[in-house]
Amino acid sequence: MEFATPFEITKDFVQRLERAVEEQDERFIIESLRGVEPADVSLVLEELDSDESKYILMLLDQELAAEILSNLDEDVLLPFVAEFSAKELAGIVQEMESDDAVDLLLEISNQMRDEVIAHINDEEAQNNIIDLLRYDEDTAGGLMAKELIKANYKWNVVQTIEAIRQQAEDVEKIYSIYVVDDFDRLLGRVSLKEMLLAKEQTKVGDIYVPEINTISTDSTQEEVVEVMQHYDLEALPVVNARGRLVGRITIDDVIDVITEAAEDERNLMSGVSDNVEEDDSIWKLSRSRLPWLIIGMGGGMLAAKFIGNFENDLAVIPALAAFIPLITATGGNVGLQSSTLVVQSLANPLAIREPLIVRLLKVFGVAAINGLVLNAIVFGINMGMGLSWNLSMVVCIALYTVVMLSSVLGTLTPMVLEKLGINPAMASGPFITIANDLLGLTVYFTVAHLLLL
Amino acid sequence: MEFATPFEITKDFVQRLERAVEEQDERFIIESLRGVEPADVSLVLEELDSDESKYILMLLDQELAAEILSNLDEDVLLPFVAEFSAKELAGIVQEMESDDAVDLLLEISNQMRDEVIAHINDEEAQNNIIDLLRYDEDTAGGLMAKELIKANYKWNVVQTIEAIRQQAEDVEKIYSIYVVDDFDRLLGRVSLKEMLLAKEQTKVGDIYVPEINTISTDSTQEEVVEVMQHYDLEALPVVNARGRLVGRITIDDVIDVITEAAEDERNLMSGVSDNVEEDDSIWKLSRSRLPWLIIGMGGGMLAAKFIGNFENDLAVIPALAAFIPLITATGGNVGLQSSTLVVQSLANPLAIREPLIVRLLKVFGVAAINGLVLNAIVFGINMGMGLSWNLSMVVCIALYTVVMLSSVLGTLTPMVLEKLGINPAMASGPFITIANDLLGLTVYFTVAHLLLL
């Protein structure tokens, strides 16, 4: 047996492949990729130029090529696909699982897409793709594949096994056999295990399980994830408004959705606007970061303008400037903590939530406690260091107010964003920091002005 | 059929259950939970008191109770389990999948654990649990379950189906049948689909697929996730150092690992130290946040002390204070963006990385571009607002330096943390913000002091 620790792609291997492409050494290429899993071949191709990748892919079996193409990173997909004629692409696309085929077709231009579809010979694949293209990408319909195994409830085990034999060629992983009536309406499911253990003449209608989780084509991605994760499902049948079985969502696609959602959240939290990776170009990396930096700078300039109004106060008590970072940093931290907790709650909609008023009271409670602790420490240090009583009081009052206000702001912002249909994780990013900086400074200088001068 | 949109738990339903428990109305309880999926019963129990939950659980079938207990949220598990005697708990635990049983047993005290294990009647379940307890929780051994279907390569299809019939009772989801030799060494796999389509007398040894992904017991959780996600596996067999098949990891556990890793990262990024949820108590919420707030406050106080050294400069040019937030916020944002990108790279170890020197040069490149753009805007605004040429120059020089330094700091910190075995996401949190605040202030005031005074 082969102990498959993940295939290690070495620079050396990539270089030898490149040389083989240059020398058109077909045998070497085919030999060295034999037995390498499609997901690993994809990784190798991502290291090559598009024309080299195409040369290699065209040497391989179309079904294998289809799997490799399905696994290819989005970043390299577009220039890569541009190397192909519509007809060449159609030959590979019709071998892909229908959901992967549609994902790929959605990346290319409308014109090219129509041409590729027109060139697909396999009528079933063509119909599947045309059908799936109707659904919004972010819905259950956009996630599902058409490939699944279904059996009429009137069939017996022998007939069903024969049907599986015919359908199974297109279906990589079976999971359950879906039982339907004469109008393709979903009735329930039979597992392969039960099929294997049942007597030959048993009717499917007598052994199927009528309880089955389903989801409708227009459910959101998030609902799909929620249902599949909550019930530990590896496949979820999708039905249309009339209860007809139209597709199936598999767990691998759900994992991709979960991973992408986590990445989006991470990007939003850190102020990176695109889906970038470290090995993207300097230009792409700069562009992905500049928007938030410029917005942050705008906040900083507003703060500068604001503090400028207090220049006279600062000239009298320059020590006032010293606590600016303390106020802004604490406000930022408190706001971030609060918003993150709400984002987490929003991502977990199945749990029963306490009423809004209770949630806000708790936010106040936590802020009150934490504000007290922080103030006690800060006041102690300030006194110990011989800071004036008055300035110490100003810092403490401002700090306490900032902790309270930032907590509320951090709690409400993601709720409002969610209502507006914006990813609430946006609130955990530079956004809340900027708002809190300005809020904190306003409180601090207002208190100082009132108490000290 | 039942269109199972996720079961909606209403307050009303919970209250009626509570009343039924009070009145010991067993029939009502059993009737109203009939047909509710175990995962949903768990959600209901999470809303009840521990003694009420126990009363309900003891009315149900032990196998069902086991599934419900497996799904229970960690937060309520401990007080809940404390309601049970060791013997009662043993009765339920022995019906759980072995990995879930071990997860539960690891939550309770050593003494209670030993007692529960001693009370387990099912010898196989007992041995499985004792075996699994040997492995570190964060390894493949800690993730795997003992339940799986295996077949000797000498068996034919009929013998194998008979073996599946015997083993299948314990195995909720089969996925693949693992083929082993006489010493239990893993040779490969056969899918149920192939079993179903093969002739009765065919030997398993003739139809199994010898290529199979495996992982060893001491591999890390992250390696498990990587392999299963990369190869789109729904189950991964685990072998020991001698190649013997010892367990199996299923995709639902991997999804839990992915989700938890994302939550940990979110907490680290936002400075929340525990795994808290919005409906935890005010005390728990406060405690989870105070550590980072206090550290942040420490940073703020250091900054105050530092700025205090420049009081004389501030007295002469109070406008200097105005740009403190701009400098600290920009440094924070740049550092956060840089660290996040590295954290993302570290989480995706399969991709080929550019050499460290190239990565750092790119970091400098991106920082140089972004610094220039920001400076051009800030300088323009400052000139437009009639700020002195000298102060404008100080702000620009400091801003540019901070952008460069924070980029490098944000890039190196997660790399160093990773080397030290600390979750690198720690670097994307308040940590990097504090470091950058202090760094930025040092640069700003040093430049100001040198150029202005």
The torsion angles phi and psi of A127, rounded to 5 degrees, stand at -65, -40
- Closest CB from A2, A307, A434 relative to B322: A307
Euclidean distance between CA atoms B223 and B284, whole angstroms: 33
- Closest CB from B168, B350, B381 relative to A43: B350
pLDDT of residue B350: 64
Contact flag B282-A362 (C-beta cutoff 8 Å): yes
Pairing mode, strands B245-250 and B235-239: antiparallel
In sequence order, what are the beta bridge partners of A215? A238
Residue with the two structure tokens 């850190």: A270
Two domains, one topology: A150-258 and A282-452: no
Strand order, beta sheet including B215-216: B215-216, B235-239, B245-250
With bands split at pLDDT 50, 70 and 90, how would you rate the model's confidence at B110? very high
Q: Is the pLDDT at A351 greater than 70, yes or no?
A: no
Phi-psi region of B243 (alpha: psi -120 to 50; beta: other; left: phi over 0): left
Residue with the two structure tokens 């964003």: A417
pLDDT of residue A173: 81
With bands split at pLDDT 50, 70 and 90, how would you rate the model's confidence at A5? very low
Name chain A contacts of B285, Cβ cutoff 8 Å: 341, 362, 366
Pairing mode, strands A2-3 and B211-212: parallel
Q: Is A216 within 8 Å of A238 (Cβ atoms)?
A: yes
pLDDT of residue B7: 60
CATH 1.25.60.10 fits A11-143, yes or no: yes
In sequence order, what are the beta bridge partners of A176? A191
Q: Is the pLDDT at B327 greater than 90, yes or no?
A: yes
DSSP E strand stretches across B351-421: none
Quick: pLDDT tens for A385-425.
888 888 999 999 999 999 999 999 999 999 998 888 888 88
Side-chain half-sphere CA neighbours of B156 within 13 A: 5
Min Cα separation B117/chain A (Å): 27
Cα–chain-centroid distance for residue A319? 47
Pairing mode, strands A215-216 and B235-239: unpaired
Nearest residue to B241 (alpha-carbon basis) of B217, B221, B220, B259? B217
Q: A354: which 2 tokens?
A: 């306490």
Separation in Å, CA B95 to CA B169, B311, B315: 11, 71, 75
A180: nearest CA in chain B?
B1
Q: Is B33 within 8 Å of B26 (Cβ atoms)?
A: no
User: Could you tell me which CATH number the domain at B11-139 has?
Assistant: 1.25.60.10
E strand or H helix at B76, and its extent? Answer: helix B74-81
Cα R_g (chain B), whole angstroms: 30
Euclidean distance between CA atoms A84 and A81, whole angstroms: 6
Instruction: Assign domain A282-452 to a CATH class.
Output: mainly alpha
Min Cα separation A19/chain B (Å): 19
pLDDT of residue B122: 93
Min Cα separation A4/chain B (Å): 5
Contact flag A193-B168 (C-beta cutoff 8 Å): yes
Q: Identify from A250, A326, A361 which residue to disrupt to test chain B contact, counting B C-beta atoms within 10 A and taking the largest count.
A: A326
Name chain A contacts of B312, Cβ cutoff 8 Å: 318
pLDDT of residue B430: 76
Counting runs of H as helices and runs of E as strands, what totals does chain B give? 22, 8
Separation in Å, CA B117 to CA A281, B108, B120, B142, B171: 57, 12, 5, 18, 21
Min Cα separation A118/chain B (Å): 30
With bands split at pLDDT 50, 70 and 90, how would you rate the model's confidence at B55? very high
Mean pLDDT of the A346-369 span:
82
Residues recorded for chain B: 453
Q: What residue spans of A133-175 are helical by DSSP H?
A: 140-143, 157-168
> What single letter denotes the amino acid at residue A268?
L
DSSP class of residue B244 equals: B
Quick: pLDDT tens for B329-361.
999 899 989 988 888 888 776 666 678 888 888
Euclidean distance between CA atoms B17 and B274, whole angstroms: 32
Residue with the two structure tokens 């103030």: A375
Contact flag B304-A296 (C-beta cutoff 8 Å): no
In this structure, the number of other CB atoms found within 10 A of the CB of residue A447 comes to 20
Pairing mode, strands B186-191 and A150-152: unpaired
Quick: pLDDT tens for A267-293.
888 888 777 787 788 888 898 889 889
- Closest CB from A174, A232, A340 relative to B266: A340
- Closest CB from A1, A258, A282 relative to B362: A282
B227: nearest CA in chain A?
A6
Q: Is B228 within 8 Å of A259 (Cβ atoms)?
A: no
Separation in Å, CA B399 to CA B375, B433, B444: 7, 16, 8
- Closest CB from A232, A300, A350 relative to B43: A350
Residues 6+ away with beta carbon under 8 Å from A100? A66, A70, A145
With bands split at pLDDT 50, 70 and 90, how would you rate the model's confidence at B422? confident
For chain B, what are the domain ranges?
Answer: 11-139, 150-258, 282-452
Average pLDDT, chain B: 89
In sequence order, what are the beta bridge partners of A3? B212
pLDDT of residue B357: 86
> What single letter denotes the amino acid at residue B366?
V
With bands split at pLDDT 50, 70 and 90, how would you rate the model's confidence at A352? low
Q: Is A272 within 8 Å of B340 (Cβ atoms)?
A: yes
pLDDT of residue A2: 41
Q: Is A158 within 8 Å of A215 (Cβ atoms)?
A: no
Min Cα separation B314/chain A (Å): 6
Complex ipTM value: 0.85
Q: Is the pLDDT at A4 greater than 70, yes or no?
A: no
Q: Identify from B47, B166, B278 which residue to disrupt to test chain A contact, counting A C-beta atoms within 10 A and taking the largest count.
A: B278
Name chain B contacts of A277, Cβ cutoff 8 Å: 341, 344-345, 348, 351
- DSSP helix/strand/coil, B220: strand
Euclidean distance between CA atoms B441 and A371, whole angstroms: 25
For every residue of B248-298, DSSP letters joined together read EEEHHHHHHHHHHHHHHHHHHHHT--S---TTS-HHHHHHHHHHHHHHHHH
Nearest residue to A444 (alpha-carbon basis) of A399, A405, A413, A410? A399
- DSSP helix/strand/coil, B151: strand
With bands split at pLDDT 50, 70 and 90, how would you rate the model's confidence at B4? very low
Q: Is A301 within 8 Å of B272 (Cβ atoms)?
A: no
Min Cα separation B133/chain A (Å): 24
DSSP class of residue A49 equals: -
pLDDT of residue A422: 86
Q: Is the pLDDT at A72 greater than 50, yes or no?
A: yes
Between helix A86-93 and helix A98-105 the angle, nearest 10°, is: 150
Q: Is A264 within 8 Å of A425 (Cβ atoms)?
A: yes
pLDDT of residue B352: 62
Name chain B contacts of A165, Cβ cutoff 8 Å: 197
Contact flag B39-A267 (C-beta cutoff 8 Å): no
B410: nearest CA in chain A?
A270
Q: Is the pLDDT at B228 greater than 90, yes or no?
A: yes
Contact flag A289-B370 (C-beta cutoff 8 Å): yes
pLDDT of residue B262: 87
Q: Is the pLDDT at A6 greater than 70, yes or no?
A: no
Q: A453: which 2 tokens?
A: 């001068």
Name chain A contacts of B274, Cβ cutoff 8 Å: none
Nearest residue to A258 (alpha-carbon basis) of B12, B260, B447? B260
Q: A263: which 2 tokens?
A: 């990445």
Mean pLDDT of the A111-121 span:
95
With bands split at pLDDT 50, 70 and 90, how would you rate the model's confidence at A1? very low
Q: What residue spans of A385-429 are helical by DSSP H?
A: 389-419
A411: nearest CA in chain B?
B278
Name chain A contacts of B332, Cβ cutoff 8 Å: 332, 433
Euclidean distance between CA atoms A283 and B365, whole angstroms: 9
Euclidean distance between CA atoms A310 and A313, whole angstroms: 5
Q: What is the number of CB-based contacts under 8 A between chain A and chain B? A: 387
Q: Identify from A324, A357, A453 which residue to disrupt to test chain B contact, counting B C-beta atoms within 10 A and taking the largest count.
A: A324
Q: A138: which 2 tokens?
A: 């972010």
Mean pLDDT of the B161-166 span:
84
How buried is residue B241: exposed, middle or buried, by Cβ count under 10 Å (0-12/13-18/19+)? Answer: exposed
Residues recorded for chain A: 453
DSSP class of residue A427 equals: G
The domain made up of A150-258 has a fold known as CBS-domain (3.10.580)
Residues 6+ away with beta carbon under 8 Å from A267? A273, A274, A275, B340
Pairing mode, strands A235-239 and A245-250: antiparallel
Residues 6+ away with beta carbon under 8 Å from A427? A339, A342, A343, A410, A413, A414, A417
